[in-house]
């Protein structure tokens, strides 16, 4: 049993890391897909006056993280040839939405020994992207939009005992400083799940 558990953990980790590839729809014959790199502009949305994460990196760095994984995942997708706008293509991708949003919430924490209660602010960061697909063989025909998002949130430092948090100093377990780049890269890769599904369905 002890030898099985590590293998299960490794297998699960591989499945999670490669989830977008696992759930991509197989394209049965070669198609060319074009995109316009100038469309890739990120919209930073602070949900309050003092955001903690969305201004830690430059917008260009967020766009590059998204675009890098978007292009590499597209290139790795069977029967997909990804080209720049202006080249001959079967389908055209138009980036309609690319947001990084930061929000916060207050969590009330009570020390059971002292009955001392304190509000702790926890921050969340979400990246979302949406593409529109145009079938070039049928001008004016727009396929169903393709959307993907990913969210990461701060948590209380010690989930096992709220009372110990206040005695050792309350506060959140912080996210990475460049979490916006991480999320953008993940969404840039994962967006190929709905893209391949839309194209595969249209080819039937």
Q: Give per-residue pLDDT as tens, 164-194.
A: 444 555 578 999 999 999 999 999 999 999 9
Task: Work out the mean pLDDT of the chain and round it to a whole number.
Answer: 85
Answer for the pair 104, 46: CB distance below 8 angstroms, yes or no.
Answer: no
Looking at CATH, the fold of the domain delimited by 4-202 is given as Double Stranded RNA Binding Domain (3.30.160)
Instruction: Among 10-24, 67-81, 88-102, name the one with the lowest average pLDDT.
Output: 10-24
pLDDT tens digits along 32-80: 999 999 999 999 999 888 899 999 999 999 999 999 999 999 999 999 9
Nearest-CA neighbor of 153 among 185, 128, 109, 121? Answer: 121
**Cβ neighbours of residue 165 under 8 Å, at least 6 residues apart?**
109, 111, 156, 157, 158, 171
Q: How many CA atoms lie within 13 A of 36 on its CB side?
A: 13
pTM: 0.82
Mean pLDDT of 103-130: 88
Answer for the pair 132, 142: CB distance below 8 angstroms, yes or no.
Answer: yes
* Residue 126 pLDDT greater than 90, yes or no: yes
């Amino acid at each position: 049993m002890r030898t099985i558990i590590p293998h299960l953990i490794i297998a699960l980790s591989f499945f999670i890391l490669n989830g977008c590839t696992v759930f991509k729809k197989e394209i049965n014959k070669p198609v060319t897909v074009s995109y316009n790199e100038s469309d890739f502009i990120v919209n930073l949305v602070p949900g309050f006056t003092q955001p903690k994460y969305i201004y830690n990196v430059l917008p260009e760095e967020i766009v590059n993280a998204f675009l890098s994984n978007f292009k590499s995942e597209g290139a790795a997708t069977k029967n997909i040839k990804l080209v720049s706008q202006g080249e001959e293509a079967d389908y055209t991708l138009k980036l309609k939405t690319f947001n990084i949003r930061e929000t916060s919430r207050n969590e009330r924490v009570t020390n059971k020994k002292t009955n001392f209660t304190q509000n702790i602010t926890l921050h969340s960061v979400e990246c979302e992207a949406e593409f529109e697909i145009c079938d070039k063989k049928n001008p004016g025909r727009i396929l169903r939009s393709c959307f993907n998002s990913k969210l990461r949130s701060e948590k209380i430092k010690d989930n096992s005992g709220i009372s110990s948090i206040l005695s050792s100093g309350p506060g959140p377990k912080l996210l990475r400083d460049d979490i916006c780049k991480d999320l953008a890269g993940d969404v840039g890769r994962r967006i190929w799940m709905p893209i391949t599904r839309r194209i595969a369905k249209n080819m039937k």
